[in-house]
């Protein structure tokens, strides 16, 4: 029975198309590398061994993927309700600042502190996202404009807060770091203490693995993905939201409160992106710093959502793929001197092919005709 | 049928790639030095680029093997450090003050690996770590002196990128230099809150020129492109930063406050080759060490007598007779 | 005081110009029924191409047209996906936002010896400033128009032309018909595919011009951060302007004006921090949207792929 199931899974059309798109992205990337005088096979080999070669690399890939999975989920959620959340970037920022502030100013035992930080960051970012939903529902302001504007406002807001006395680390361009009780890093402090150091040194494998900021963030991302999947698939709320996304007018006719659905959807989407910001702060950076430009977590999240076909499970895998490409891609520069921009071209091509399933099915038709000959 | 084929094809491709990846191991005997850029990237026309040029010089003259990794986000620093660690480098550089925390941590975790950081200060550096700092206020003072002497309007301007301590060193060093040369000179200062928005830099510079300033100094990265462009259009003067920016507008950029990250990188690499790596210290580079200064093209616009005076001021700074302020408080004290 | 007003107006024009071009790209594409989120990516490739050709040929006009051409190639790509293959238009646009910058930086490294920044073009080889030297120094008109590049006027002319084409010509009627009711348009014998291809390609051309207006006029080189977000602001302006050329123009001017005011206020020592000042343009846009503009609706068939075989 399992065989059958696995076969069905792989023969799923969407999954197949996604695989073909990824392949197409890699091929186009290879062609461009070839034109530029680099050996594409070597480049990809470096990426693959740079991602899977050691446990440490896998760990980094997961750490890199975690916030992207969450912003991907945020965009997925809004998409399902027919809303385009370009604002994940700003919601991420709001989540990150809130997490830093709550993590630094409050002094609580870890068991309470961690949930308090997560919940407050999620709520703050949810409200931030909710603004766009509210403006759309009440004033008909297109969410694309409002979220773009909110992104910039959030960016300057973060810079404003980082300068505040009592929050800014003196003589730096970052805020104070969160209290250790708010950290979700595994052995964060202990790792650097003498005892921890000695212990890790006696075990090269663990030492290697725990050099990375291993943290619980990925678990949060998985839990969030399951919740998103559950809400969308198995609750009346999810049904209503999807109905609005599918056909606004029909949903309204069917008695669904469209305005409320939009606000709820954007709030949840904002919360998810905020969770991404919180997880990044609690697990990796421990503080927020002055931003000279957008960091791109939200924008990359759009690509993640799209590669994941706007499903919760898809976002997890797409986030991992994205994290792997981004992390592995940095390794081709030092190893062979090829510009790492190639990764953006590969990602762009993958997304492009994902946009055109019809072309892929056309290709498949040809392919299968030859099959019969 | 088709699906099986596709899956087969993909699997084969993946296997081929993995095998190709395994056949790459080679042993190098040369000394290897590598660097992690900050989010500006290696060709930022600023300190990252200068750092890379320093390493390129080391490659040519000292025969070391060099490479770099670029960072796109602050969160990339650590994995990038690890990438270079795994590549088996003798010395790994972190470029930019944002890297300090990461460097401190990785140096502790990898005691056998040598590290160094540009613009980084370490409180208790481990023996495998060197911090390198620049006195940006000193070249800023010198270009401020030039501006104070050359302004006809008795008004000059400063455009900062973002309002924080690194840029303050340029800001207040410059102001002190201007006042030192010309106590009556007024200084307009404005921050763009960006290192990227060239149009905003241009608008701010236009406004300063309109308000009567005739020389504008910038410490603002990409925003500075707009400042220099405004000078070019209105045929006013501008002062560049970090590297000699005269090439951006040969007729208008009279001098630049240069930070010779390349020299610092080269020197330390040379020390490493000689076996004199100064582990566990913070090295401060100023005029004295020849790691900061004014642009060599300054003589195109600045009259020789002013340059002679600048040399005298430079001597005074080097001898310690003149201490240049690097923050608002220092500046206020200095003015008294 | 009056000088300050002139300077703010001047800054407004300077700041708005790249946005206006790009927003017109959005207008033409979306009026034909194809969403174009990829404006940012098209702008980046335009800015890069403009700066590169400008540097190597020394002729701003060839460079400007080249930038439009580069934008057109990406427009064509978007059109192939969206028109011929019924792609999800948002997805294809996002792809272009990855491809544009990726390709621009990649090519820059090849043309400029590993650098992601192109070399500076000197003043004589940049776009001309038609009214430079016409007005006496320090006059109102000097600050307002004296330093403005040809791109400013071209942008304004483009808005007028696009308005004229869309609302006063047969072609415009066809474009709008295709954007509102492609099926009906088809029955009337309009080639929906052809019209959409044309519109989307021109969308790329205009966005490419927008990028070049940055790299050939506002500054004289390309660097990776040059465009950072202008394309998205233009997209917002287009929606703000209710998908109409004249509306988008006003939205772009509003945004540029707010930047002008921010820069103007920034010269004074306020208690308000500069970060809060920097928020002004974005907050203002939202306030105006809520208070004065109200509901916006896209062309009816915007975003819906048209498939001849699936009529009715």
Which CATH number does the domain housing residue B41 bear? 3.40.50.2300
The SS3 call for residue A317 is helix
Say what the pLDDT of residue A199 is.
67
- Chain C nearest-CA residue for A132: C286
Say what the pLDDT of residue C160 is.
97
d(CA A20, CA A14): 10
Same domain, B163 and B272: no
Same domain, B71 and B149: no
- Chain C nearest-CA residue for B43: C115
Say what the pLDDT of residue B213 is.
93
Same domain, B323 and B266: no
Say what the pLDDT of residue A335 is.
81
Does residue B171 contact residue B160 with C-beta atoms inside 8 Å? Answer: yes
d(CA A57, CA A73): 24
- Measured CA to CA in angstroms, residue B15 lies from A149, A327, B18, B24, B209 at distances of 46, 21, 5, 15, 64
- Interchain CB distance below 8 Å, C286 and A148: no
Task: State what percent of residues in chain A have pLDDT above 90.
Answer: 41
Q: Token pair for residue B96?
A: 């930019």
> How many domains does one find in chain B?
2
Domain contains B145: yes
B contacts of C119 (beta carbons < 8 Å): 247
d(CA B67, CA B199): 34
Same domain, B51 and B128: yes
- Chain B nearest-CA residue for A164: B164
The average pLDDT across A349-366 equals 78
Residue-wise pLDDT for B42-54, tens only, equals 877 778 888 998 9
Question: Looking at per-residue confidence, does C26 or B111 come out higher?
Answer: C26
The radius of gyration computed from the CA coordinates of chain B, to the nearest angstrom, equals 23
CATH of domain C2-310: 1.10.3470
- Chain B nearest-CA residue for C270: B190
- Interchain CB distance below 8 Å, A292 and B195: yes
Same domain, B196 and B324: yes
CA pseudo-torsion sign C255, C256, C261, C266: positive
State the best of C4, C54, C101, C263 to mutate against chain B, taking most chain B CBs within 10 Å: C263
Q: Which of B80, B165, B194 sits opposite A292 (nearest CB)?
A: B194
- The listed range with the strongest mean pLDDT (A10-14, A52-56, A123-127, A158-162) is A123-127
- Chains with at least 3 CB pairs less than 8 angstroms from chain B: A, C
The SS3 call for residue B259 is strand
Domain borders along chain C are 2-310
Residue-wise pLDDT for C94-107, tens only, equals 899 999 999 998 88
Say what the pLDDT of residue B22 is.
45
Say what the pLDDT of residue C311 is.
42
Domain contains B17: no
The residues facing A174 across adjacent strands are A289
Q: Identify which of B219, B223, B295 has the alpha carbon closest to the alpha carbon of residue B253.
A: B295
d(CA A217, CA A300): 18
Q: In this predicted structure, which of B64-68, B188-192, B324-328, C138-142 has the lowest mean pLDDT?
A: C138-142
Largest Cα–Cα distance of chain A, in whole Å?
76
Same domain, B161 and B228: yes
Between residues 166 and 195 of chain A, which touch chain B (CB distance below 8 Å)? 171-173, 191-192
d(CA B166, CA B137): 9
Domain contains B187: yes
Q: In this predicted structure, which of A250-254, A336-340, B89-93, B211-215 has the lowest mean pLDDT?
A: A336-340
CB of A246 within 8 Å of a chain C CB? The answer is no
Domain contains B268: yes
- The listed range with the strongest mean pLDDT (A210-219, A331-340, B295-304) is B295-304
Same domain, B224 and B328: yes
- Interchain CB distance below 8 Å, B69 and A364: no
Same domain, B58 and B168: no
A contacts of B104 (beta carbons < 8 Å): none
B-to-C residue pairs, Cβ atoms closer than 8 angstroms: 94
Between residues 271 and 290 of chain C, which touch chain B (CB distance below 8 Å)? 274-275, 277-278
The average pLDDT across B2-19 equals 54
Same domain, B69 and B90: yes
Same domain, B149 and B232: yes
The average pLDDT across B265-286 equals 90
ipTM at complex level? 0.85
The average pLDDT across A78-96 equals 93
Q: What are phi and psi of A331, to 5 degrees?
A: -85, -15
Domain span including residue B273: 32-134+261-285
Q: Token pair for residue A261?
A: 């659905």
pLDDT band at C226 (very low <50, low <70, confident <90, very high): confident
Same domain, B231 and B322: yes
Same domain, B206 and B325: yes
Domain contains B101: yes
- Interchain CB distance below 8 Å, A45 and B84: no
Residue-wise pLDDT for A130-189, tens only, equals 999 999 988 888 888 899 899 999 999 998 998 888 888 876 778 888 998 888 887 666
């Amino acid at each position: 029975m399992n065989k059958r199931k696995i076969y069905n899974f792989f023969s799923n059309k969407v999954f197949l198309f996604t695989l073909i798109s990824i392949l197409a992205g890699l091929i186009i990337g290879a062609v461009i590398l070839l034109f530029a005088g680099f050996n594409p096979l070597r480049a990809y080999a470096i990426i693959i061994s740079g991602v899977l070669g050691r446990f440490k690399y896998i760990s980094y890939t997961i750490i890199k993927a975690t916030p992207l999975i969450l912003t991907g989920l945020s965009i997925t959620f809004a998409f399902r309700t027919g809303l385009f959340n370009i604002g994940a970037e700003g919601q991420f920022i709001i989540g990150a600042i809130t997490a830093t502030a709550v993590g630094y100013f409050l002094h609580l035992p870890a068991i309470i502190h961690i949930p308090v930080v997560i919940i407050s960051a999620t709520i703050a970012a949810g409200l931030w996202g909710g603004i766009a939903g509210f403006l759309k529902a009440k004033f008909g302001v297109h969410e694309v404009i409002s979220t773009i504007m909110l992104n910039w406002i959030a960016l300057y807001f973060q810079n404003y807060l980082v300068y505040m006395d009592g929050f800014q680390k003196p003589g730096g361009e970052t805020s104070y770091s969160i209290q250790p009780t708010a950290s979700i890093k595994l052995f964060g402090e202990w790792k650097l203490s003498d005892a921890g150091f000695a212990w890790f040194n006696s075990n090269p494998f663990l030492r290697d693995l725990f050099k990375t900021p291993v943290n619980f963030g990925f678990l949060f991302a998985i839990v969030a993905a399951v919740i998103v999947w559950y809400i969308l698939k198995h609750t009346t709320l999810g049904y209503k939201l999807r109905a609005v996304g599918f056909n606004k007018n029909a949903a309204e006719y069917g008695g669904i409160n469209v305005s409320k659905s939009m606000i709820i959807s954007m709030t949840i989407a904002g919360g998810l992106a905020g969770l991404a910001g919180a997880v990044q702060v609690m697990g990796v950076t421990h503080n927020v710093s002055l931003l000279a430009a957008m960091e791109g977590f939200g924008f990359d999240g759009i690509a993640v959502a799209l590669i994941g076909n706007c499903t919760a499970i898809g976002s997890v895998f797409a986030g991992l793929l994205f994290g792997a490409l981004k992390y592995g891609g940095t390794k081709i520069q030092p190893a062979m001197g090829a510009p790492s921009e190639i990764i953006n071209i590969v990602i762009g091509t993958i997304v492009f092919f994902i946009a055109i399933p019809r072309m892929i099915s056309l290709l498949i038709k040809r392919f299968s005709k030859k099959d019969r000959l | 049928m088709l699906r099986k084929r596709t899956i087969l094809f993909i699997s084969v491709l993946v296997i081929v790639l993995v095998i190709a990846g395994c056949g790459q191991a080679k042993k190098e005997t040369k000394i290897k030095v590598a660097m992690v850029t900050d989010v500006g990237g290696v060709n930022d026309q600023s300190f990252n680029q200068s750092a890379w040029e320093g390493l390129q010089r080391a490659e040519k003259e000292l025969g070391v093997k060099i490479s770099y990794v670029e960072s796109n986000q602050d969160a990339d620093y650590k994995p990038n450090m690890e990438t270079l660690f795994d590549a088996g480098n003798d010395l790994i550089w972190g470029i930019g003050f944002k890297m300090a925390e990461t460097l401190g941590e990785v140096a502790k975790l990898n005691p056998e690996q040598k590290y160094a950081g540009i613009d980084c200060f370490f409180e208790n550096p481990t023996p495998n770590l060197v911090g390198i700092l620049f006195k940006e206020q000193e070249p800023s003072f010198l270009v401020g002196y030039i501006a104070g002497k050359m302004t006809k309007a008795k008004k000059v301007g400063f455009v900062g990128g973002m309002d924080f301590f690194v840029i303050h060193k340029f800001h207040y060093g410059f102001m002190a230099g201007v006042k030192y040369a010309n106590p009556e000179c007024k200084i307009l200062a404005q921050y763009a809150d960006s290192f990227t928005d060239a149009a905003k830099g241009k608008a701010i510079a236009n406004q300063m020129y309109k308000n009567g300033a005739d020389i504008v100094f910038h410490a603002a990265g990409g925003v500075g492109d707009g400042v220099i462009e405004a000078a070019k259009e209105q045929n006013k003067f501008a002062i560049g930063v970090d590297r000699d920016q005269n090439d951006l507008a040969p007729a208008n950029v009279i001098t630049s406050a240069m930070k010779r990250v390349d020299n610092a990188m080269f020197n330390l690499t040379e020390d490493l080759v000689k076996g004199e790596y100064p582990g566990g210290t913070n090295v401060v580079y100023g005029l004295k060490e020849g790691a900061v200064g004014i642009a060599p093209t300054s003589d195109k616009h600045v009259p020789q007598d002013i340059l002679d005076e600048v040399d005298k001021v430079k001597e005074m700074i080097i001898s310690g007779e003149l201490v240049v302020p690097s923050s608002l408080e220092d500046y206020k004290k200095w003015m008294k | 005081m009056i000088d300050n007003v002139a300077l703010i107006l001047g800054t407004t024009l300077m700041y708005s110009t790249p946005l206006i071009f790009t927003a017109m790209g959005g207008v033409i594409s979306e009026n034909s029924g194809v969403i174009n989120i990829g404006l940012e990516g098209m702008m980046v490739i335009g800015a890069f191409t403009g700066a590169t050709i400008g540097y190597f040929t020394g002729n701003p006009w060839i460079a400007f047209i080249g930038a439009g051409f580069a934008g057109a190639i990406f427009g064509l790509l978007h059109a192939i996906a969206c028109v011929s293959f019924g792609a999800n238009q948002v997805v294809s646009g996002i792809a272009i936002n990855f491809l544009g910058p990726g390709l621009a930086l990649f090519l820059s490294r090849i043309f400029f010896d590993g650098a992601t920044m192109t070399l500076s073009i000197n003043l004589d080889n940049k776009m001309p400033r038609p009214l430079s030297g016409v007005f006496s120094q320090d006059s109102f008109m000097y600050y307002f128009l004296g330093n403005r590049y040809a791109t400013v006027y071209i942008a304004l002319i483009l808005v007028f032309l696009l308005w004229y084409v869309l609302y006063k010509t047969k072609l415009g009627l066809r474009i709008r018909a295709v954007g509102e009711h492609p099926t009906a348009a088809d029955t009337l014998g309009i080639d929906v595919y052809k019209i959409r291809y044309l519109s989307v390609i021109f969308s790329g051309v205009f966005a490419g011009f927008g990028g070049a207006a940055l790299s050939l006029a506002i500054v004289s080189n390309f660097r990776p951060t040059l465009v950072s977000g202008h394309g998205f602001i233009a997209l917002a302006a287009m929606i703000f302007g209710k998908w109409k050329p004249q509306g988008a123009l006003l939205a772009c001017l509003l945004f540029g004006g707010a930047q002008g005011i921010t820069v103007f206020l920034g010269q004074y020592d306020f208690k308000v921090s500069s970060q809060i000042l920097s928020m002004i343009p974005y907050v203002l846009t939202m306030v105006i949207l809520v208070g004065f503009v109200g509901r916006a609706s896209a062309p009816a068939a915007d975003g819906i792929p048209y498939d001849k075989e699936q009529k009715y």
